[in-house]
Chains A and B, each alone.
Chain A
Amino acid sequence: MSTPLLKLEAVHTHIGAYHILHGVDLEVAHGELTVLLGRNGAGKTTTLRTIMGLWHPSAGRVLFDGEDLGALGTPEIAHRGISYVPENMGIFAELTVAENMLLAARGAKRPEDIDPKRLEWVFGLFPALKRFWQHPAGLLSGGQKQMVAVARAIIEPRKLLLIDEPSKGLAPAIIQNMVEAFRELKRTDTTILLVEQNFNFARQLGDRVAVMDDGRVVHAGTMAALAGDEGLQQQLLGLSLAAHQ
C-alpha cells in the first residue's frame, strides 16, 4: 500500500474518566473505501470522533496527509478536507433540506450559489432530495435523512469521508440506493472510511476492512480476503455476534 491518506498510530482516547480506545492502529489508503467493522461498543464511533477532533487522543497520533491532527479543533480538521456523517446523522431538523445543504457548501451564501453541476450530480444519487428541497429536514423519513446527511458530506469535493453506519435502520430498498450512491462516489476517487455492522452492505463496497474489538483494531486486510474466508468471518464477526448475545 502506498502512503495512506489517513493513519492512526497507537491512538488512545479517554472520554472523561473512561479509557475507550486502547491503541488503535489504522490505515486508510488513497482512493479506497475502508470498512470498519466490529461489535456494539467496540469503539468505532469513538474512532471516527477522535479523527474528527470531537474527542482528542490522549496518546498516539492521527496523521492526515502527513499532518498530525491531534491538537487541531474540529473546524480546522474539517477544513483539511474531511467530512463527517455521524451515527445520528446530525441533521438540522428545523432547517430545510436546502439550508442543510447550504451549510455544507462553505463558500455559498444562498442555496442558488451551490455549484449547480455538483448539485445535479448529488440529485442524481439521491433524487428524493430534489423533491423535498424546501421541506424541513426533520419531517423526512429516516432513510431520507440519511440521504441528506450523505449528500451534505459530498456537496463539495472532500479528500476523506467518515461515515458512521449509514445503513442503520434503513429498509432494504433504501440500503440498495445507498450502495449505488457509494459505488458512484468511489468512481470519483473519493477516499472513504465507513463504519458498518451490516456485513452484506460492507462486502459490496469495501476495498479493505478493519475489525475492531474492545478499543483496538484486531484485524486488517482486504475485503476480498475476508469475504472469501468463512472461517475468518466466523472468528471475527461470529465472535462478535456471540459477544453481544
Chain B
Amino acid sequence: MKPSVPAAPALDALPAVRPDRVPLMLLPVLVLAALPLTGSLSTWVTLTFAGLAMGMIIFIIASGLTLVFGLMDVLNFGHGVFITLGAFLATAVLGRMTGWTESESLTRNLAAVLPAMLAAVVVAGLVGLAFERLIIRPVYGQPLKQIMITMGGMIVGVELIKVVWGPQAIPLPLPAAFRGSFLFGEAAVEKYRLIAVVVGLAVFGAMSWVLGRTKVGLLIRAGVQDREMVESLGYRIGRLFVGVFVAGSALAGLGGVMWGLYQQSVTPEMGGQINVLLFIVIIIGGMGSVGGCFIGALLVGLISNYAGFLAPKVALFSNILLMVAVLLWRPQGLYSVVKR
C-alpha cells in the first residue's frame, strides 16, 4: 500500500510488519542440536518423530485450555478429566468393534476409529458444557476457588469414570493397519506416530483457519486481548467463552483417544498425569496464545523424548527446566497476548 500523497513523515512513520518468528526457530534448533547428541541418525529420527507425535497430542489437548484462560482468566485444573473420558469412551467403542479393528483393511480400521473419536468429541463437549455451567460459572473471577473447585470437579469426574469402567487399566490396542513402522533407510518411524503428527497438524490448521479467517475467531483473538472492549463493541463474551470451553473439552476428548492409542492402554489417572504437562505447555507458549501452545507442546514432546534417551534421570524434570529457561528469556512465555 503506497500513500497517495507524500505526507509528513513523523505522522506516517511506521516500522515494517515483522512477525516474531524467533520462538518458531527454537524447534529446528532443538532438533538439529539433538542430532550429534543422540549419536546415530536412526535413533535421532525415531526420537524426533516420537517427540513430535507426543507434542501434537499434547497440543490438541492443551489448545482449548490456553484459550479458556486467555478469554476469561479461568484456570481449569479439571481439563484432564476430558482426556480420561475420551480415552475410556474409545475403549468402549473400539472394544465392541474388534472385528473391524483387527481387520487388515485400513478402511475398516478407520470405520472403527473415527466413530470412537466422534463419540469422544461429542460426549466430552457435552460434559464440558455441563462442567462450565456447574463448576466454572459460579467462580468466575475468583482464581483461588477456581483452582480448588476445578480440581475437585476432576476428582469427582474420575471417580464417576471408575464407577462406569472400573479402576483398573484397560488395554486400547492400535487397529491392525496402524501398527508397525515405516522404514526410512535404517530409521524406523512408527506408523501411528506419523498419523498423530498428521492429525495434530490438521487440528492446528483448522484452528488457525477459524482464528485467522472467521469473525468468531477474530472475536476470540480480540477477547483474549481486551474482553471489556469486545463487550463494549456489543458482543457477549460469555457466550463466546462457553463455545470455546466446549470446543476445548471436545478437543481434549479427542486428544484422550489419541493418547490412549499411543500408550495402547487407558487408566483413570491418565488425565491427571498429563495435567501438569498441559500447564507447563501453556505457560511456555504464553497464556492465551494458540501458536505459542503449538510450539510449546512440540518443544515439550521433543525434549521429553530426547532427555528420556540421553539422560533418563533428568527426563523427569526436563520440562520444568525448559519452562524455567523460557520464562527467564520471556517472562510472559513465548508469545504474550493477554494484556490486562
Contacts and interface: CB of A to CB of B under 8 A. Distances in A.
Interface of A: 52, 54, 73-75, 78-79, 83-84, 86, 90, 92-95, 99, 102-104, 106, 108-110, 127-128, 130-136, 139-141, 143-144, 152, 173-174
A108 B237 CA distance: 18
Nearest to A149: B229
Nearest to A74: B231
B17 A75 contact: no
B231 A103 contact: no
B218 A131 contact: no
B236 interface: yes
Contacts, number: 87
B236 to A, nearest CB: 5
Interface of B: 1, 3, 7-8, 11-15, 17, 214-215, 218-219, 221-222, 225-226, 228-237, 337, 339
Nearest to B228: A54
Contact of B3 (A131, A134, A135, A174): A131
A86 B8 CA distance: 28
Given A92-B226, A131-B3, A84 B218 contact: no
A75 to B, nearest CB: 5
Complex A-B, nearest 4 residue pairs according to Cβ-Cβ distance, in ascending order = A78-B234, A90-B229, A74-B231, A84-B232
Contacts of A152: 233
Contact of B234 (A99, A106, A132): A106
A67 B71 CA distance: 31
B33 to A, nearest CB: 31
B1 A54 contact: no
11 contacts: A54-B228, A54-B231, A74-B228, A74-B231, A78-B234, A86-B228, A92-B226, A95-B221, A99-B222, A128-B12, A133-B1
B15 A102 contact: no
A99 B218 contact: yes
Contact of B14 (A90, A92, A127, A132): A132
A78 B15 contact: no
Nearest to B2: A131
A192 to B, nearest CB: 16
A127 B7 CA distance: 10
Nearest to A99: B218
A92 B1 contact: no
A75 B14 contact: no
B232 A74 contact: yes
Nearest to B236: A75
Given A131-B1, A131-B3, A103 B219 contact: yes
Given A93-B339, A95-B218, A75 B229 contact: no
B215 A94 contact: no
B11 A128 contact: yes
B330 to A, nearest CB: 16
Contacts of B229: 86, 90, 92
Contacts of B221: 92, 94-95
